[in-house]
Amino acid sequence: MEITVIGTGYVGLVTAVGFAELGHRVLGVDRDAAKVRRLQAGDPVIYEPGLAEKLVAQQGAGRLHFTTEIAAGVRHAPILFICVGTPSLPDGSADLSQMEAVVRQIAAALDGYRLVVEKSTVPVRTSSWVHRTLRLYTRPGIEFEVASNPEFLREGRAVHDFFHPDRIVLGVPSQRAGDLLGEVYAPFHCPKVITDPNTAEIIKHACNSFLALKISYINLIAELCERTQADVHTVAQAMGLDQRIGPEFLEAGLGYGGACLPKDVQAFIHIGEEHGLDFSLLKEADAINRRRVDGILQKLKRALWILEDKEIAVLGLAFKANTDDVRGSQGLAVARALLDSGARVRLWDPHAAARAQELLSPSERVAYTDSIWGALEGAHAAVIATPWEELRALDLARVAATMLTPIVVDGRNLLDTEAVRAAGLEYHPVGRPSVAFT
């Protein structure tokens, strides 16, 4: 069927390409003309494994086009997915201005029934606002409906997640809307949760906040492990074997970053408060997460005594592996904290360096290197900030030989303690016993 996807960021572009591969005829809409030109030329703009090939293949098959015109998107399809950004306002609540602007443009172009579907993460009751806005700006007598279909894909494996969802959530106001979305998702055989739009909106925030809680919980346990010479890795492993808990999202380290978890926790706290509820549980998760960077700085200070004028390599700037996204990057947060302490930083990332430079410019104290070895050369210490495979597979003897003082702070618990010991590194992981300099 015909589908329009408005907003071609990480979620929108993967969704557009995915729907096209499923055989739908998709029109992607974005207000950024330069981006649309690149997309039209087969350049996905973002780095996401597998995306570039699929984009080109679907364009070649004639099933995927891009435009800047929302009106063209409205003409193209009976179903319009809104995938625009919903960033944080200073008070933590979601900024829905992009959403509202898009909805007004849809309203102005409506010429007959359309199903408008929110895919962006939005606060509960947004669908009522979308509905009211459409009513206000649409010519009388024109029918439309609003549904919520939250997206759960993870950056770095978004293409895989699109085709293999754990579940699909359809928050629909009517049988008609349910049938339309049912047709879109007919090829999927995973569980489908059919519910009302408010419930669907809450599901998305509840999921991301729960994942953040899980990560902060294991990071709190890691802090206890550090004070008691216990090993958080084994604690997490044993916890994960309990089927009620499960093994995922129990990796202690630098905490959660990215464009979603930090923002969604803030937004959910705000939503709770708006409805007279105390969401301190989530405030604590956020507080634990915020002190992760300081924990890494403390380890460096304990190892180096004085940070001023030290050369520190920060390995990994993407907020997680397999993406070039540096929004909410803990690696950049570590780099900034080091600069505040007077240190110099040498930054490496295989995919995210260009985007990182937009947020932290190269300077006398900030160097970007093309190779891990360039970052380690002459460094007093190195911090592992992103779990890139390249870092997991490091030649540790060469690390020891390259650095001025072979001190590694492992913010992602990537390295094997025995291998580190054998290579002669001083090693400080998170929530696990350190290896002393010999």
* Residues belonging to the active site: 260
Q: List, in sequence order, every residue forming a beta bridge with 348; answer none if it has no partner.
A: 315
Least distance in angstroms from the C-beta of 430 to ligand UDX = 10
Residues 236-265: x where in contact with ligand UDX by CB under 6 A, - otherwise, as a string: -------------xxx-x-xxxx-xx----
Q: Give yes or no for residue 429 binding ligand UDX (CB under 6 A).
A: no
What H or E segment, with its residue span, contains residue 26? strand 25-29
φ/ψ of residue 408, rounded to 5: -120, 125
Give the integer Cα–Cα distance in Å for 408 and 241. Answer: 30
CA dist 80 and 146 (Å) reads: 10
**In the complex, minimum distance from the CB of residue 330 to ligand UDX, in angstroms, rounded to a whole number:** 7
Which positions from 47 through 66 interact with ligand UDX, judged by CB under 6 A?
A: none
Q: How far is CA 269 from CA 92, 216, 279, 305, in A?
A: 8, 15, 5, 38
Coil, helix or strand for 207? Answer: helix
Stretch that binds ligand UDX, among 149-157, 164-172, 266-274, 373-381 (CB under 6 A): 149-157
Q: Which is nearer to ligand UDX, 264 or 311 (CB)?
A: 264
Strand-pairing partners, residue 82, are 6, 118
CB of 67 to ligand UDX, least distance (A): 26
The number of angstroms, rounded, from the C-alpha of 341 to the middle of its chain's C-alpha atoms is 28
How, if at all, do strands 192-195 and 366-368 pair?
unpaired
Residue 120 engages ligand UDX in binding (rule: CB under 6 A): no
Closest to ligand UDX by CB, 242 vs 364, is 242
The answer to whether residue 352 forms part of the interface with ligand UDX (CB under 6 A) is no
Residue whose CB is less far from ligand UDX, 6 or 326: 326
Write out the binding residues for ligand UDX, residues 314-343 only, by CB under 6 A: 319-320
For residue 154, what is the DSSP state?
A: P
Residue closer to ligand UDX (CB basis): 218 or 400:
218
Reading the block at residue 302, the tokens are 């304990």
Q: How far is the CB of 317 from ligand UDX (least distance, A)?
A: 12
Contact between 152 and ligand UDX per CB under 6 A: yes
Using CB under 6 A, count the residues that bind ligand UDX: 20
Residue 104 half-sphere exposure, CB side, CA atoms within 13 Å? 6
Task: Output the DSSP codes for 366-416.
Answer: EEE-SSHHHHHTT-SEEEE-S--HHHHT--HHHHHHHSSS-EEEETT--S-
Query: Shortest distance, CB of residue 258 to ligand UDX, whole angstroms?
Result: 3
Q: According to the binding rule CB under 6 A, does residue 215 interact with ligand UDX? A: yes
Q: Which of 155, 226, 410, 426 binds ligand UDX (CB under 6 A)?
A: 155
23 versus 49: smaller Cβ distance to ligand UDX = 49
Please report how close the Cβ of residue 122 comes to ligand UDX at its closest, in angstroms: 13
What is the residue type of 61?
A
How many Å apart are CA 174 and CA 180, to the nearest integer? 10
What are 141's two structure tokens?
Answer: 């007598």
CB of 262 to ligand UDX, least distance (A): 9
Nearer to ligand UDX, 48 or 311 (CB): 48
Question: Do 1 and 79 contact (CB within 8 A), yes or no?
Answer: yes
Render the burial of 276-315: b for 16+ CB within 10 Å, e for the rest: eeebeebbebbebbeebbebbbebbeebbeebeebbbbbb
Residue among 21, 151, 201, 311 that touches ligand UDX (CB under 6 A): 151
Q: Which of 86, 138, 208, 413 binds ligand UDX (CB under 6 A)?
A: 208
Rule CB under 6 A: which residues touch ligand UDX? 151-155, 208, 211, 215, 249-251, 253, 255-258, 260-261, 319-320
